[in-house]
Structure 1
Amino acid sequence: MKGDLNIVKELINHGANVNFLNKDGWSSLHLAAKEGHFDVVIYLYNISPTLSLTPSKSGRLPIHTAALCDHHEIVFQLLSLASNEETKQYLLNSSDNGGTNLLQNFVICGNVQIVKKLIDEYDVKIDYKDKLGREAIHHAAIIGNKEMIELLFEKGANINVQDNWDKFTSLHHAAKEGHVNVVKYLINVCRANVDIKDNHGKTAKDIGTLSLFL
């Protein structure tokens, strides 16, 4: 966690178990990835490559942890170290217990350039659904990232797709969270369907009105 590679090496040289998992199922590689310690990540990987494929109890791999914390250098290094194409594809497309994958992790942390790179260079699909049926476009709307929505729309995201949890579209989510500029963009530029109703029969306008009183 502190990123002190010399101490890490000394501990391992004296018998520390590099594969030990804490009560949450986190390995030393998870912790180094979370804190962005590139050199420690590479060292631990070289000692035990299987750590990169060891999920925590929440189902997150170290690469997911790095992505959520926007440590993209670590993410792409772990991808480049994959022993074969099958392993690389697994890292690119695997998801945690909530069904959130690598692309959605970077959408959630708001890194537009890395999302673009994953789409353009790694062919990661933007219509992947998590366990609530939410796609990248839903997550972008929830956090109110207009630039991210612009990118996803340009890449072919379905603006009107409804999730499986409450049948919200991206417009519903943006309205609920009060992201006025995103709502305007979705309606005026993306031509989002304002008449789609959620599983309670409410349109995005209804949701937006309700949110004013919550």
Structure 2
Amino acid sequence: MEEALAWETDGMLPLERQLHEAARRNNVGRMKELIGRRVNVRARNHVGRVALHWAAGAGHEQAVRLLLEHGAAVDDEDAFGMNALLLSAWFGHLRILQILVNSGAKIHCENKEGLTLLHCAAQKGHVPVLAFIMEDLEDVALDHADKLGRTAFHRAAEHGQLDALDFLVGSGCDHSVKDKDGNTALHLAAARGHLAVLQRLVDIRLDLDERNAEGLTALHAAAEGIHPDCVRLLLGAGSNVNTLTQVTRPPHHHLPAAEP
């Protein structure tokens, strides 16, 4: 999902490149000209991106509608497994997501990392999109896990998305679920230094001394990530400080690295 990488247009014909650029910029007039010249609306760049991906990711309703009217495949995936629906959720474009759903997009889709619509919206903190997914789409699995064993709740915690986390809690998600490395949402928030999210997780009474597969608690994660404010919060909430002396393994093995 690296935009700079994905925007490269190697291997495309000149007019196909122009269609991608016009879709990305919502230049509908130019798009109509190119489509009138029978430019392939499903032409892919070197990472499999099509014009519809650019239009959906940028939130351009007119461009999306035009492409769909002229044969764009609503479920085309790029090399990362991202389709227009997942991109609209990732970037928080609710209206585009609704248009795609009404055009027959498969709602139970996931990318190569196992991210679903719910994961994408939660990780980026798009609460209106989360609400639409949960309230208007059928049979959405609230606790579906990605390839790392992480649910939307994990993703919201890991990326510091407090409003998304609150929405998921209110929707009845499983608070205690662990990923494949045994990390709870508390571990992930502590490792990244997300103080407000960590406070909320403490408030909803997650087990402060739950250990992951390496025997680490959230307190270890906060200490290793060099987040003293999170360490203080966890200690103040009752985390057992003695656990810090009970693990003898090199630091920074499985927990996600703290962002600058």
CA RMSD of aligned residues (A): 1.4
Q: Which residue of 2 aligns with 1:160?
A: 176
1:80 is matched with 102
Aligned residue number for residue 27 of structure 2: 4
Q: Runs of 5+ in structure 2 lacking a partner? A: 1-23, 228-257
Higher alpha-carbon deviation: 35-44 or 119-128: 119-128
**How far apart are 1:70 and its partner, in Å?**
1.3
Aligned match for 1:43, one of 53, 63, 66: 66
Inter-partner Cα distance in structure 1 for 2:165 and 2:38: 49
| Amino acid aligned to 1:57 | A
The offset of 1:74, in angstroms, is 0.6
Residue 188 of structure 2 aligns with which residue?
173
Measure, in 2, the Cα distance between the counterparts of 1:112 and 1:174.
Answer: 19
Deviations 1:98-127 (A, max 9, x none): 100111111122111221221122142210
Q: Distance in 2 between matches of 1:28 and 1:11?
A: 12
Q: Which has the higher helix share?
A: 1
Whole-angstrom distance in 2 between the partners of 1:192 and 1:77: 38
Q: Letter of the aligned partner of 2:149 in structure 1? A: G
Identity of aligned residues (%): 28
Q: Answer yes or no: is 1:67 the counterpart of 2:67.
A: no
CA displacement at 1:212 relative to structure 2: 1.0
Q: What does 1:75-154 align with in structure 2 at a 5 Å threshold? A: 75-82=97-104, 88=105, 91-123=106-138, 124-154=140-170
Matched, 1:192 2:206: yes
CA distance in 2, matches of 1:63, 1:196: 36
TM-score normalised by structure 1 residue count: 0.90
Amino acid at match of 1:113: P
How far off is 1:77 after superposition?
0.6
What amino acid sits opposite 1:211 in the alignment? G
Q: Which amino acid aligns with 1:104?
A: H
In the alignment, what sits opposite 2:220? Answer: 206
Which of 45, 50, 54 is matched with 2:76 structurally?
54
More displaced 10-residue stretch of structure 1: 203-212 or 108-117: 108-117
The superposition leaves residues 64-87 of structure 1 with CA deviations (integer Å, 9 ceiling, x where unpaired) of: 1122111111111110121xxxxx
Question: Which protein is bigger by CA-based radius of gyration?
Answer: 2
Q: Deviations over 1:171-197 (max 9, x none)?
A: 001111111222121112x11011211
Residue matched to 2:249: none
Matched, 1:13 2:36: yes
Q: 1:94: Cα distance to partner?
A: 0.5
**For residue 210 of structure 1, what is the amino acid of its counterpart?**
E
SS at match of 2:25: coil
TM-score under structure 2 normalisation?
Answer: 0.75
- Name which of structure 1's ranges 117-126 and 136-145 shifts more when overlaid on structure 2: 117-126
